[in-house]
A and B are shown apart, each in its own frame.
Chain A
Amino acid sequence: MLCRNLNFTIRNQESWALLGRNGAGKTTLLHCILGIIKPTEGSIAIDSVPLQNYTRRELAKRVGILFQDETNSLPATVLESVLLGRHPYPKPFFRDCPEDLRSVEDLLRELSLETIKNRKIGSLSGGEVQRVAIAMLLAQEPNIFLLDEPNNNLDVGYQINLLEALKHKINKKKGSILMATHDINFAARFCEHFILLLNKDEILIGNKQEILSPQNLSKAYDCQISSISAEGKTFFYPT
């Protein structure tokens, strides 16, 4: 049992952040929403329909996840990988679907991956791999974007640009984000709602102002965290 009494609703166009220490259950919670792990108690519903009533494929059209390092031992190129994101959608028996190819090419252009689209995944840098994973998730076009450490391996420029691109897509499509991250300031920049896993029995859920305080964060991470305000924003740092 990782946590109990967790109860929250994510609405359209909301961005949620999931904060907590290593091993607190962030990834496990994301996997529960993805339907990979069954919660021992309670239930999860999407559009008021319980998760277990969806087929895998139907679920994949609604929920998508950005993975924490997926290594691959069999070769594949960037383009082939991103195209896999279209897997949940119907296709001709043998041929590739031309619309899929077109939308994936557009995505690669948007995320400036076009120049490396024929490179093998194994030959890419960590940051490039992460950008390919983001492209794959965008190709899947889910409504709920689960992001597991989205800024892993990304430089600050890409962290901001990619997340802006993602939020833009979501606002256009009416989707929502739930991200698990260790970067409090990154989460504060992009999310309005927070889930802070303090320990097994104590979880704080609420909007940014309620949850993000030095006291709560110090308690969650078991170290002294202070805040400073500049240009109308609040930043948190360990002391």
Chain B
Amino acid sequence: MINFKHYLLLLFLLGLAIFALLFSLLSGSIDLSLTQVINQLSNPTDELLSQVLIEIRIPRTLAGFTIGGLLAFSGVIMQVLLRNPLADPYILGVSGGAAVGALCAVLLGLSGLLITNLALVGALFSIFLVFGLSSAFRNWSSTRLLLTGIVVSAGWGAIINIILATTASNNVQSILFWLIGDLSQSEVGFNHYLLLIIGLIGGIAIGRSLNVLSRGDTVALSLGLNLGFFKILLYFAASIFTAMAVTVAGSVGFVGLVTPHILRLLGARDHRILIPSSMILGGSFVTIADSLARTVIAPQQLPVGALTAVIGVPAFLIILRTNIKR
């Protein structure tokens, strides 16, 4: 159910999102002030500044927010589908598949869009492999799907390790990109924004059904939810969302797992609230983490995936602890 506190939470998160977006626009190798940004956007005078802003800062900020939002959406959906609080967007091996696809592209000497495309192929291949192996369409056992996903992920991990151990060291750096998650090469486009909006509106629309589904299949069926098609749709939506995020940013960890939990602890248990608030918090989280990744040891950059965990672990533990005390 939804109450006044939930609207306050959403309002707070929107404020956080605005802060995150501005923080990301203003910080980096050249620090900008808010007036500078507004001036450059309305009436560009300094060519370098406006170039930095339009070609680097804005795209990267939007990329961070979008990827965070997509991963948080997948995280919520996977946790509901598998009824497992430990589920995250990568649980069906999507990140491993994408990484292997991208690695193959790098090893073949391909570059740019071809790497991204091969990563997407790897991610999709992994999804179908896991579904096929667990024969999920005939027999809906989430435990079997979960186990298959974990085993297939381990398989991808083994392939990655073999590739890492046998390739020249100058390739290793670009390979790490896929494993940790990095926004420095990310280009998100129309497809990503479209998915983000579909996820947001669709997620709110199916919020009530997700509430029922999170109680298990038998309860959901007896309360009138048509499970078969709905669950297949959700698995594919969550997997495609993850694949789209992974192929441009690598496997940014922790966002999909921890964002829904933080919000549940703050009282957003109803999925009509949990979906939009997770997407906003996930987006803000990655945007802030990436801003810090660009600045803490500037001019050197850190991969955003390293920072999400650095911020996420203490934040989660603090909220968990205060919640237990209460």
Contact = CB atoms under 8 A, between A and B. Distances in A.
Interface string A60-81: 1101110100101111110111
Given A73-B83, A94-B272, A101-B1, A140 B208 contact: no
Interface stretch (B190-198, B218-226, B292-300): B218-226
A56 B1 CA distance: 23
A122 to B, nearest CB: 11
Contacts of A101: 1
A83 B270 CA distance: 11
B204 interface: yes
Given A80-B1, A80-B270, A74 B223 contact: no
B2 to A, nearest CB: 6
Contacts of B218: 31, 36, 67, 70
B269 interface: yes
Given A75-B269, A80-B270, A88 B223 contact: yes
A87 B223 contact: yes
Given A34-B221, A80-B1, A96-B1, A56 B216 contact: no
Contacts, number: 80
B242 to A, nearest CB: 20
Contact of A74 (B205, B208, B264): B264
Contacts of A91: 208
A93 B202 CA distance: 12
B181 to A, nearest CB: 26
Contacts of B223: 60, 84-85, 87-88, 140
A59 interface: yes
Interface in B220-236: 221-226
A67 B215 CA distance: 12
Interface string B227-256: 000000000000000000000000000000
Nearest to B205: A93
A233 interface: no
A102 interface: no
Tier of interface size on chain A: 35 or more
A172 interface: no
Nearest to B260: A74
B214 interface: yes
A219 to B, nearest CB: 32
Given A79-B1, A87-B208, A72 B222 contact: no
A65 B214 contact: no
Contacts of A96: 1-2
Nearest to A87: B223
Contact of B215 (A59, A64, A72, A93): A72
B1 A70 contact: no
Interface string B64-97: 0000000000000001100111000000000000
A63 to B, nearest CB: 8
Contacts of A140: 223
Nearest to A85: B223
Contacts of B225: 56, 87
Contacts of B269: 74-77, 80
Interface of B: 1-2, 79-80, 83-85, 204-205, 208, 211-212, 214-216, 218-219, 221-226, 264, 269-270, 272
Please list the 10 inter-chain residue pairs (A to B) with the smallest Cβ-Cβ separation, ordered nearest first.
A60-B224, A57-B224, A88-B224, A87-B223, A56-B226, A74-B214, A56-B224, A65-B222, A96-B1, A36-B221
